Structure 1
Amino acid sequence: MTEHDTRHRVTVIGGGYAGTLAANHLRMRADVDITLVNPWPDFVERVRLHQFVAGTGDATIDYGTLLGEGIQLVVDSATRIDTAARVVRLASGRALSYDYVIYAVGSTATISSSVPGAAEFAFPVAEFEAARRLRARLAELPVDAPVTVVGGGLTGVETAAELAEQGRTVTLVCGGTLVSSWSAPGRRYVARWLSRHGVTVLEADVVTEVGPDAVVLADGAVRSSALTIWATGFGVPGLAAESGLRTDTLGRLLTDETLASVDDDRVVAAGDAAAPSDQPLRMSCQAAGALGAQAANTVLSHIAGTPPAVIDQALTGSCVSLGRHAAVRQLARRDDTAVNLYVGGRLGAAIKEFTCKVGVSRIRREARKPGSAVWVRGGRRLEQSASAARAVTFP
């Protein structure tokens, strides 16, 4: 038996919260060769992209401080998972042979193709390259130039609040209830903060057209907008479907309850792009890191020849930043259903900052001590239809 025969090759596609933690977790076995494929040379803290856009914080971290010894980082994009040949094909033309793949490609910004002008004139905020373009455009505008943020979820609120705190003139078009997945008390707190800081909130209005210097609402009203930011939701990369693997309607990889693809159990999903039993968890770094560890456990079980465990994952609420000095932590039951309890103000801001740091420190701890990851368990995995319907909010 050769040395190659005794080793196991695992390619992790995607270097976000799920993929990076999964790569570190795989080091629980010394006979696993781990390759992490990511389009960017640095780790992106997506929960800080609104800060990056506003110039109030950074959003990238050197992978050298996050990855455990022996993990090979390949800065490239996967274009196809060839399950027959067991290779991951890359944009550079390179092909990586694998025994197992962890599919952690994350989520992407989306701009509705049904809204004229949106793809041409609106700026998404949920990915690093898009956020960098948005930051550059924002820097060109005078501080009193009108800015429209489209989307009343967590990303839209955080972006609107960050800019408003800097004195910018911001309109937030929600297209429905502000932070609709939250409790009424939590929503009221956010609405009051936005009002105090001059944000015009249009809950029931919908943007039907975007121009270079204006937006049109459903009632025909035209509002001046020197910059329109699109934050209505998230999609996922098309890699799974393009590789011939079954996906849900959004494009997330369909898996069983161990996160293994329903088409090929050598492909195991984690994070925003996973749809276990067609009941995906809410897109969030809270879920992603834990799913990364559980996906790695599934691979390790396959290598060991033991039955993998079904996932056990709870979500217990979410946070939203309101500028640099306030935030809200909305509490929830383990099935991610909001309760009428929240923590706001400076204490909320401290909790939000702690939460952001925990996401990164968990990855670093896993690099130092593989297998150390912990997460909240006890979620009702197969009865999450309400949570699944909210799977487009971030963080």
Structure 2
Amino acid sequence: MTEHLTAKKVLVVGGGYAGVIAANRLRSRGDIDITLVNPRPEFVERLRLHQLAAGTGDAAIDFGTLLGDGIELVVDSAEHIDTAARTVRLASGASLAYDYLVYAVGSTGATPASVPGAAAFAFDVAELEPARRLRARLDRLPADAPVTVVGGGLTGVETAAELADQGRTVTLVCGRTLAPYLSEPGRRYVAGWLKRHRVTVIEGENVAEVRPDAVVLSGGGQRPSALTVWTAGFAVPGLAAASGLRTDEIGRLLTDETLTSVDDDRIVAAGDCAAPSGRALRMSGYAAGPLGARAADTVLSRIEGTEPAVIDLAFTGACLSLGRRAGIRQLGRKDDTMVDLYIGGRLGALIKELTCRFAVSKRIRLEARRPGAMIWPKGGPRDLRPAVRERSGQSS
């Protein structure tokens, strides 16, 4: 009874890669009551949402198979954080108290209001429900109907490739350039695969308007489009800003290098929604896991009265799928810049698939079985990264 009365309440808001790892890792202490708040009872494998949309895979896993014993799952949405009272108001009207809060709300699609018709007619693949709606729309679409994918980043390339691999007629509108995050040899490999699969790639132009049956390009041209998928950019839920916490220009919580909010040392951020020192790391499944673990470690340090460690994450590159039979593993330096070396073809596809499995089985489930067991590459100097931070959106 004494242990229950003295237990610290830690509330994790958001059940993505970062939030689930943080919740599982917090179990390394037995005197913490852990509650995970998430809008749905399923964990979403965002690395597979393009597969879900194309009908080549699933992306939802029951939380019961991922969360360690003792973690309470509350299926609800957080609407406001009262930092003075240390409570979170939920959409249902309920309120949850906390001693520490892990802010792990992730990121969402960013369909721009400035592009006429985009919000009304374009689909996205950034979250589970939009991906399912896109899947349903594709099921009703004739196989030869023209499809436009907007955004030449890794998500756009994977989505376009997945649809083209099924024989769809696809146009990929890249903006400035195709797959800018990759090295030049990596971009050439991706461009070659897309060309062989009859994907029309448009570089140097943006989509200026989305219509029900067409897209209008910034250069004035128009292309038929029975379905338009928007993957250009990501946004962050507005919970932090709505709660009076300072954020960067797209809504990521401003923190120090230990991921602690600059406004409240009881709030620690993790994943895509964190902006340490105003210089967020690349939005990615790769970074989400270590950031979730580091956020949990920061909370544990504060409970123990010790100084939290700062972020120390080295990048190794990225990988993406090109349909179900090809892919690319782009190699990179620790500072998240790329080298002119990649692995393509079937081996590249295998590496991407193993990466997706690793994120769940070797990271999330490992932490559920053995809290504190997760390790990650270190030695990536923070001072070298600002220039490459915003080159791409979600990637593995």
TM-score (norm 2): 0.98
User: Does structure 1 conserve the Cα–Cα contact (< 8 Å) formed by 2:3 and 2:31?
Assistant: no
**For 2:338 and 2:5, how far apart are their aligned partners in 1?**
50
**For 2:43 and 2:181, how far apart are their aligned partners in 1?**
29
**Relative to 1, partners in 2 of residues 1:189 and 1:345: Cα closer, same or farther, differing over 3 Å?**
same
Do residues 367 (structure 1) and 364 (structure 2) align? no
1:170 is matched with 170
User: Does structure 1 conserve the Cα–Cα contact (< 8 Å) formed by 2:154 and 2:393?
Assistant: no
1:234 is matched with 234
**For 1:162 and 1:380, how far apart are their aligned partners in 2?**
35
**For 1:218 and 1:86, how far apart are their aligned partners in 2?**
48
* Percent of aligned positions that are identical: 70
How far did residue 197 of structure 1 move? 0.3
Q: Deviations over 1:281-303 (max 9, x none)?
A: 10111100110000000000000
Q: Which amino acid aligns with 1:158?
A: E
User: Does structure 2 conserve the Cα–Cα contact (< 8 Å) formed by 1:279 and 1:382?
Assistant: no
User: Does structure 2 conserve the Cα–Cα contact (< 8 Å) formed by 1:102 and 1:268?
Assistant: yes
Q: Deviations over 1:102-129 (max 9, x none)?
A: 0000000011111111111011111111
**For 1:218 and 1:300, how far apart are their aligned partners in 2?**
51
Q: Secondary structure at the match of 1:174?
A: strand
The 5 Å alignment of 1:285-324 reads 285-324=285-324
Q: Deviations over 1:327-385 (max 9, x none)?
A: 00111100100110000000001110111111001100110000101111111123311
2:335 is matched with 335
Do residues 149 (structure 1) and 149 (structure 2) align? yes
Q: Secondary structure at the match of 2:299?
A: helix
**For 1:392 and 1:57, how far apart are their aligned partners in 2?**
21
User: Does structure 2 conserve the Cα–Cα contact (< 8 Å) formed by 1:205 and 1:218?
Assistant: yes
2:354 is matched with 354
The 5 Å alignment of 1:42-81 reads 42-81=42-81
User: Does structure 1 conserve the Cα–Cα contact (< 8 Å) formed by 2:153 and 2:392?
Assistant: no
2:382 is matched with 381
1:131 is matched with 131
2:276 is matched with 276
**For 2:377 and 2:77, how far apart are their aligned partners in 1?**
32
**For 1:389 and 1:287, how far apart are their aligned partners in 2?**
14
2:27 is matched with 27
User: Does structure 1 conserve the Cα–Cα contact (< 8 Å) formed by 2:77 and 2:90?
Assistant: yes
Q: Which amino acid aligns with 2:395?
A: F
Count of residue correspondences: 395
Deviates more, 1:258-267 or 1:202-211: 202-211
How far did residue 176 of structure 1 move? 1.1
5+ residue gaps, structure 1, are none
Q: Secondary structure at the match of 1:354?
A: helix
User: Does structure 2 conserve the Cα–Cα contact (< 8 Å) formed by 1:366 and 1:373?
Assistant: yes
2:251 is matched with 251
User: Does structure 1 conserve the Cα–Cα contact (< 8 Å) formed by 2:274 and 2:280?
Assistant: yes
Q: Deviations over 1:258-313 (max 9, x none)?
A: 00000001000000000001111101111001100000000000000111111111
**For 1:345 and 1:389, how far apart are their aligned partners in 2?**
27
**For 2:236 and 2:226, how far apart are their aligned partners in 1?**
29
**For 2:308 and 2:50, how far apart are their aligned partners in 1?**
38
How far did residue 17 of structure 1 move? 0.3
User: Does structure 2 conserve the Cα–Cα contact (< 8 Å) formed by 1:281 and 1:391?
Assistant: no
5+ residue gaps, structure 2, are none
**For 1:21 and 1:97, how far apart are their aligned partners in 2?**
21
How far did residue 3 of structure 1 move? 4.4
